[in-house]
Amino acid sequence: MSLYVQLGEVYTYYEDDGAGEALVLLHPGLADSRSFELNVPGLAEQFRVFRPDRRGHGRTPDVDGPISYEQMARDTIMFLEQVVGGPAFLVGHSDGAPVALLVALRRPDLVRRLVVGAGVFHHDGWAPGVIDLDEETTAFFIEYHGAVSPDGPQHFPIFAAKMHRMHTDEPTLTIADLAGYPGPAMVMVGDGDDEIPMSHTLAFRDGLPNAQLAVVPGTAHGLFAEKPDLCNRIVIDFLTEESV
């Protein structure tokens, strides 16, 4: 089901599928809720799955000013409070990972369990050159973004510049900061992901006090779309097991 909600200054689009305990999926940067389309059928069999498009992404319009992980975390906290109505499981992929992490650090009472996939806690965690879009990738995102964005394809260069600034300067969390979320957490990564060095992923896992690591074989940075059934099984097992 496709819906909108006003979250502060952001008129936010979201999808709501299934029934059961609340699970919020936070999509990668420059992408939107469509990135989880292959995951939703399996996850919605056990959970009520929410997929918000963050500010400037997908069907949610951009607003004046810069985009930051902190802003998007605040937007997500409002989403949890106003739409979900309380705590939820959070799964964040790529850019969705630091957003989910910041929500967990700022409001651990709203995060039952945390899954971060192919994400960084500090911008130094990106491999050199990864955040710089080449012509082919830019062309893909212009078409992908423009297909649904209320801002139109002509807005993509403005949006992309905001995102590049964010990726260059943020996030800036330390390993010590990660200790602020005491709840169960899982760090996921593809065994062929060359966008984030494994040393950063291991530091991410080690910094969270109650975390485990899942390395998904035969996948790269887009692990959730590349092997949706396997990723779903890993996530469901983690979210439903009695003790971690």
Domains of the chain, with CATH numbers?
2-240 (3.40.50.1820)
How far from 87 is each of 23, 104, 140, 220, CA to CA, in Å?
9, 10, 35, 30
Taking only the tens place, the pLDDT of each residue in 193-221 is 999 999 999 999 999 999 999 999 999 99
What is the pLDDT of the chain when averaged over all its residues? 97
Given a contact cutoff of 8 angstroms between Cβ atoms, the answer to whether 34 and 88 are in contact is no
Assigned token pair, 156: 């993509």
Q: Which helix (H) or strand (E) holds 93?
A: strand 88-93
Q: Name, in order, each residue with C-beta under 8 angstroms of 193's C-beta and a sequence gap of 6 or more.
A: 118, 219, 220, 221, 223
Say how many C-beta atoms besides its own lie within 10 A of residue 84's C-beta: 18
**Residue owning tokens 């607003």:** 63
Is it true that the peptide bond before 150 is cis, omega within 30 degrees of 0? no
Taking only the tens place, the pLDDT of each residue in 45-56 is 999 999 999 999
SS3 state at 47:
strand
What's the whole-number mean pLDDT along residues 176-188?
98
Residue 95 clears pLDDT 90, i.e. is over it: yes
Burial of 217 (0-12, 13-18, 19+ CB in 10 A): exposed
Given a contact cutoff of 8 angstroms between Cβ atoms, the answer to whether 6 and 55 are in contact is no
pLDDT recorded at residue 121? 98
SS3 state at 10:
strand
CA distance linking residue 93 with residue 120, whole number of Å? 10
pLDDT tier at 91 (50, 70, 90 boundaries)?
very high
Residue 244 clears pLDDT 70, i.e. is over it: no
**Cβ burial 154-184 (10 Å sphere, 16+ → b, else e):** ebbeebbebbeebbeebbebeeebbebbebb
